[in-house]
Structure 1
Amino acid sequence: MLKLYGFSKVNAGARGRTRDLRVLWALEEMQLPFELVGMDHPAHGLSTEAYRQLSPFEQIPSIDDDGVVLSESAAILVYLAKKSGRLIPGDPAGEAQVMRWCFAAMNSVEPPLLSLLVLDWTADGSCGKHRKFLVGWANRVLTNLERWFADRDFVATQGFSIADILMAHVLSGIKDEGLIARYPAVASYRDRCLARPAWKRTIAAYCARVEAG
């Protein structure tokens, strides 16, 4: 059976935002059976040689699917979608669009938003110039997304796909509501994805299980 390595305990600031949620959400949407292996981050459960064989950078999530070992949330979602034939089109053109937007979520949209989040977590008040740069970068990305969502419900195809799981989860990391309020189509897209029953079940089960440490 598929084993998913996810958090059982994580620091309070990250709880509810961790990337294993992307895989948990996909598995719930796909209705695939799996075994969850809970990892205790504060107790350094990821910093073992055994776990490094699954995840070279000591990160969550990772999977072991009867010997197929993968880390990196986007790679895992692509693997699961292609294996199950769900949340990804069967035709090459449709698959290419989903892959395109999986890469875009990870490489174009997440970097400025995550950088801004980390700066706000760690800054001592003397990083105004750096924050201004990151806000400008985030606004440029969100402006382009706003255009893209002018006449689309989902990011890659007419139907919900793994690209939407990645993109919506990235957008859910925006804690500055004033920032995303400038982009109503992006905010509506994010909220539409996070209103899905599979996500609500996923986040509820996660919050009931994962401890803050």
Structure 2
Amino acid sequence: MVKVYGFSRVNEFAHGNTRDLRVLWALEEIGLPYEVVGIDHPRRDLDSDEYRAKNVFGQIPAIDDDGVVVTESGAILLYLARKSGKLVPRDLAGEAQVLRWSFAALSTIEVPLLTSWFVDINDGKGTKPSDALKSWARMRLEQLDGWLANRTFIATDDFTVADILMTHVLSARSTDQDLLKPYQHVRAYQTRCMDRPAWKRTVDAYRERVEAV
């Protein structure tokens, strides 16, 4: 059974927004049995020697699949897809598109959005760095909007792990949702993916299990 190291207690701002949700969503979509190993963030469980042996960076998420330890949410999702044969095409060309868009979600899209948030909370909105980062983010979102104009999902005709990663990046609390407003195809895509029953099950279970402090 897959062990998922995910939060049991987390600060209020991050509650419902942590990256273990990406893994839990994938497992719900795939239907693999799993158990959650609760990590108490305020108690500094991430800094324990036991956890650092699994993830040297002391970050969530991590999984242990009968001795196969994988960290980094993108790597975990791709591993689970390959293991199960679900959420990824079986042909090389189709898999390449899922890899392409998984990396795009975590680098091309997430980097300007997340960096913009960090700058805003530290230096304030309206500063030159903030404005420059928002301009970068808008450029990427406009390009993404064009890509999604005639597509249901991001990488293939079917829902894949790339959609989980992209949707979670777009919906993150660290993503300024005002930036998304001009991009109707991005917003429709986000809604479409978050309406999936597996995501709703994941969120409901998370909120029941994880304490916000």
TM bin, normalised by shorter chain, reads over 0.9
**Residue equivalent to 1:37:** 37
Moved more, 173-182 or 11-20: 173-182
Instruction: Decide whether the 8 Å contact of 1:5 with 1:62 is kept in 2.
Output: yes
**Residue equivalent to 2:137:** 138
- Offset of 1:127 from its aligned partner? 6.1
Any gaps of 5 or more consecutive residues in structure 1? none
Aligned partners of 2:98, 2:109: CA distance in 1, in Å?
Answer: 15
**Residue equivalent to 1:72:** 72
**Residue equivalent to 2:165:** 166
- Offset of 1:185 from its aligned partner? 0.3
**Residue equivalent to 1:5:** 5
- Offset of 1:118 from its aligned partner? 2.3
Any gaps of 5 or more consecutive residues in structure 2? none
Instruction: Decide whether the 8 Å contact of 1:3 with 1:36 is kept in 2.
Output: yes
Matched, 1:154 2:153: yes
Count matched residues. Answer: 212
**Residue equivalent to 1:22:** 22
Moved more, 126-135 or 13-22: 126-135
Aligned partners of 1:56, 1:163: CA distance in 2, in Å?
Answer: 25
AA partner of residue 192 (structure 1): R
Aligned partners of 1:126, 1:167: CA distance in 2, in Å?
Answer: 25
Instruction: Decide whether the 8 Å contact of 1:113 with 1:173 is kept in 2.
Output: no
Aligned partners of 2:168, 2:184: CA distance in 1, in Å?
Answer: 17
Aligned partners of 2:14, 2:119: CA distance in 1, in Å?
Answer: 14
**Residue equivalent to 2:108:** 108
Instruction: Decide whether the 8 Å contact of 1:87 with 1:161 is kept in 2.
Output: yes
Aligned partners of 1:52, 1:6: CA distance in 2, in Å?
Answer: 14
The RMSD of aligned alpha carbons is 1.3
* Post-superposition CA distance 1:156-187 (Å, at most 9, x none): 00000000000000000265333111101001
Instruction: Decide whether the 8 Å contact of 2:117 with 2:176 is kept in 1.
Output: no
- Offset of 1:52 from its aligned partner? 0.9
* Post-superposition CA distance 1:79-129 (Å, at most 9, x none): 000000000000000000000100100111000111122233333x47611
**Residue equivalent to 1:88:** 88
Instruction: Decide whether the 8 Å contact of 1:145 with 1:186 is kept in 2.
Output: yes
